Copies of this chain bind each other. A is one copy, B any other.
């Protein structure tokens, strides 16, 4: 009944007013899940007429009900409101990229630190016996950010907030990056792994 994809009608209708822009998004997500207004009303605890008004942008819901709606869509409110700030393509060339090294730990940022960037990808090489961060470093990221690590070669141990997780080659781990953490290589060969920091909070 509704266009399930991103509406191409108004190019920059959103951006400024969150209330107006959530509507189409809620509707898109709802019928992407195959839910009726009453279905979502049941799941979210928000009345169906209210949902209708919100979807059409006729009202600006309270954070409370917006949160309920997001929950009904199995999303965080933050996720529901995440409609982008401008489209662009950014290419980061391998040549002339900044490399860092500190005591058996080399790494390289693969993505440019663009404003509005949501995922920061970096490639790490950890020599046998070495650990990331060391002691004095702040080994955690912005509150709310999440890190996904993929082991490309070798073995890796993640120490996260006390507990320890052993990773084999090819394994991946996802965790909240605002907790103190670091990696260790207890193997015999150098370990290569990829780190993805997603959804970090940003200012400026």
* Complex CA–CA separation, A201 to B84 (angstroms): 13
* Residue in B closest to A149 when the chains form the complex, CB atoms: B121
The minimal Cβ–Cβ distance linking A130 to chain B, given in whole angstroms, is: 22
In the assembled complex, A187 has its CB within 8 A of some CB on chain B: no
- A81 and B84 in contact (CB under 8 A), knowing A63-B18, A111-B172, A167-B91? no
In the assembled complex, A93 has its CB within 8 A of some CB on chain B: yes
CB-CB contacts below 8 Å: A143-181 with B? 143-144, 146, 148, 150, 160, 163, 165, 167-176, 178-179
Count of chain copies = 2
> A91–B143 contact, CB under 8 A?
no
> A84–B76 contact, CB under 8 A?
yes
Interface residue count on the A side (C-beta < 8 Å): 81
* Complex CA–CA separation, A114 to B175 (angstroms): 11
- Interface residues, chain A, with chain B CB atoms under 8 Å away: 5-6, 16-19, 22, 25, 28-29, 60-67, 70-71, 74-79, 81-85, 87-95, 97, 110-112, 114-119, 121, 123, 140, 143-144, 146, 148, 150, 160, 163, 165, 167-176, 178-179, 194, 196, 198-199, 201-204
